[in-house]
Structure 1
């Protein structure tokens, strides 16, 4: 039972209810018992004091043996308690129930009274629980005897145990109610958790369309929202992965088909010299294209496994960027683009991996070239501020739709307006920039010009 959340919750509530019941009822019963016992003792003490004062003021002319019975008769009806008069030696001189033959019993109250103090004692007399209060009887300041008032505690104990039985019954009812409430509350917690567990099992089994119903606005409700969001994200990544596999398959098939076609053409004996040169050039270009795609896939694998290591060194940005611009300018010319480089004055060297930094810039420029129409402008702008260097690639293309902006740079994502590619370029660029301690935010929104 206690292995489940439901069992532990109910067990916890039950244990708390029992602890609270025991402490509360124990304190209540102890307080009631103390209250009644103190009242009885106070009443007996008042009566004993009254009897002692009465004897000292109005009696004492005769020996105590002759006046003991008269003292009890004079106070008859004042108290329902048992009244006794003892001599200084401890023998019984008078008893309200006429039991003069009982042996001398020097209890603590008698001993205390013989020393001149009003003293109480609680114990058992003939197996019956009693409480007694004794007061000294004085004549001319000397203690000559003791008057004792004694009351049975059996009615108090009977009332106490009756009250205990009622409280025990009430406590049992309260425990049952707590268990029922605990079961209800445990159900509100355990049932959603069981649903979430079942949904998680389905997600693990590949059913990414599963959704958990949110029952309450609490931590479990937030957990349900998180699981639903996770399932949605996993489903989206699964679709992107499938689209990526389809795209890569197509991208691999296209150059391979071209290479195979030209190989068959070159194998023919009647192919001209011009056809041979054209075919070899196309095979070379398509081979480079395949190599770039394979390198992207390998880099992505290294990033995912944490095996991509940077070889950092000081890089002089001016010749480094001018070299990239010279490399990309012929392509910009073929596309009819105005490609420029704008450098801030006095650029300091940066600590970076030049090959990886070049890979990032080539990826960014490749995207700008793809989405900027003929006659447009692509520009690299470099600025430095204290210990921060910013390299911007701007263009006059159509830009990125606002709803796609947060998704740019996620793995496999290509966007609705994407052209040929694997969908890994920007994702790799963002991770490489992060490894350098920088960031690659996207700020463009879709607008003309």
Structure 2
């Protein structure tokens, strides 16, 4: 990857340098050539204007005055030639006559000045030729051709380009090392992050990435570290859940197995003892059924296979029903439950699922409350929603654990029996009804859970 980054930088820089060098070359060349041409054309224009002011009719015989014209209009450092309309050289400032005719530009025959870059036939030398017409009665009767060598200009242009290429090469080397440094600064953390991600795929979640990288790489490292922490926490909760659920299954099964063996022997058992054994079997079986139902509900919620059977029902009667069902449990733990009912409240929802939620919440309140304490079960409502409040005086929940209590498998106190699914399942049921759970707690003083449900 580092090679690709460096190569990308260098390709872009080299393309930019080639473009700049090309533009610079043509720009400098155009500047020098145009400057020289303008100088010659200004002199030629002055010479032509001077010639055109003559009113002497004898000037129509300009061929007889060619020598005078050459010496009058000569410009230092140039060769001046007087040409007729056909391009034939009439006179030259060098004294050498060219037998061949010059092809004249069409523009000069129409009275316009022009210039061109040409090559000397004898020396192959590049020269700049400037053409200026000599006018008489609105017609071109002759042409002044100024020719100057471009060797000096080309030498200057080559020097400028050599310096430009040298500077560009130095810049390319500098950019190469800078791009190498940038590539290393990008590739090294990416390699570390890739290695860290590979560790996650190999279930090595204890590894943490360096979060000191700048910008997006640092944020990516933080995200991966957070993900690793969440996965690690999830795995720990899963393992605790497996351990807890195994214990929850084994305990009633052990009791059932013991009583079954006892009842099978039936040696010297009184009717009261047999009745006690049957009640024990029924109680532990109900406990197993409840546990399996929780697992099944959790599976249905995870796969979105839960179906609500909604109907209108009286929430007040349902709360009374829950209270009656849990009354023996309350008496057993010597806990007082005060029921505050505001009157008949109709609700549109799944009656069985709402009852499941209330039973779970009341079961938690009883489980974490001491004897001789009070649990308050109350109902409040408006035209739009109903609020069922369950407030206990139990051990409460620590503040750092409070945000996690609705998470799957989470148990605020692992010493207590339970699967860690009850509150998570209850929260999902309430959300499916369009409501939410509000949980407030103070460690050592108790917990208040409010079930908020829309009435419509």
TM over 0.5: yes
Aligned length: 441
Within a 5 Å distance, the mapping from 1:124-203 to structure 2 comes to 124-126=119-121, 127-138=124-135, 143-203=140-200
* 1:342-368 per-position Cα deviation (integer Å, ceiling 9, x unaligned): 344563322x22222111111100111
1:70 alignment counterpart: 68
Partner Cα distance (1:140, 1:248) in 2:
119
Shift of 1:210: 0.6
Change (3 A) 1:245 1:417: closer
1:13/1:182 contact within 8 Å kept: yes
Partner Cα distance (2:140, 2:288) in 1:
124
Task: Describe the SS at the equivalent of 2:388.
Answer: strand
Q: Which range moved further: 206-215 or 370-379?
A: 370-379
* 1:407-427 per-position Cα deviation (integer Å, ceiling 9, x unaligned): 111122111375211111111
Are 2:15 and 1:35 aligned?
no
Change (3 A) 1:388 1:124: farther
* 1:75-113 per-position Cα deviation (integer Å, ceiling 9, x unaligned): 44x3212211123443212112222133111321xx433
Change (3 A) 1:177 1:441: farther
- 1:213 corresponds, among 198, 210, 215, to 210
1:242 alignment counterpart: 239
Q: Which range moved further: 191-200 or 389-398?
A: 389-398
Within a 5 Å distance, the mapping from 1:268-307 to structure 2 comes to 268=265, 269-307=267-305
Are 2:255 and 1:258 aligned?
yes
1:115 alignment counterpart: 110
Shift of 1:282: 0.8
Partner Cα distance (1:386, 1:41) in 2:
95
1:398 alignment counterpart: 395
* 1:133-182 per-position Cα deviation (integer Å, ceiling 9, x unaligned): 22222457664322121223344334334433443343333333323222
Are 2:373 and 1:376 aligned?
yes
Q: Which range moved further: 55-64 or 11-20?
A: 55-64
Task: Describe the SS at the equivalent of 2:317.
Answer: helix
Partner Cα distance (1:184, 1:405) in 2:
48
Change (3 A) 1:89 1:212: closer
Within a 5 Å distance, the mapping from 1:50-89 to structure 2 comes to 50-56=46-52, 63-76=61-74, 78-89=75-86
Are 2:19 and 1:23 aligned?
yes
Change (3 A) 1:219 1:376: same
2:5/2:183 contact within 8 Å kept: yes
Task: Describe the SS at the equivalent of 2:128.
Answer: strand
1:47/1:149 contact within 8 Å kept: no
1:405/1:445 contact within 8 Å kept: no
2:315/2:344 contact within 8 Å kept: no
1:130/1:153 contact within 8 Å kept: yes
Shift of 1:115: 3.0
Partner Cα distance (2:380, 2:23) in 1:
78
Q: Which range moved further: 139-148 or 16-25?
A: 139-148
List runs of 5+ in structure 2 lacking aligned partners: 447-456
1:47 alignment counterpart: 43
Task: Describe the SS at the equivalent of 1:382.
Answer: strand
1:329 alignment counterpart: 327
List runs of 5+ in structure 1 lacking aligned partners: none
Are 2:361 and 1:356 aligned?
no
TM-score w.r.t. length of structure 2: 0.89
Partner Cα distance (1:211, 1:128) in 2:
73
The Cα RMSD (Å) is 2.4
Change (3 A) 1:385 1:79: farther
Q: Which range moved further: 265-274 or 223-232?
A: 265-274
Shift of 1:428: 1.3
Q: Which range moved further: 305-314 or 56-65?
A: 56-65
Q: Which range moved further: 136-145 or 314-323?
A: 136-145
Task: Describe the SS at the equivalent of 2:102.
Answer: coil
2:44/2:144 contact within 8 Å kept: yes
Partner Cα distance (1:17, 1:384) in 2:
72
Q: Which range moved further: 48-57 or 363-372?
A: 48-57
Shift of 1:56: 4.1
Partner Cα distance (1:141, 1:429) in 2:
107
* 1:187-213 per-position Cα deviation (integer Å, ceiling 9, x unaligned): 212211111111121122121111111
2:452 alignment counterpart: none
Partner Cα distance (1:344, 1:153) in 2:
108
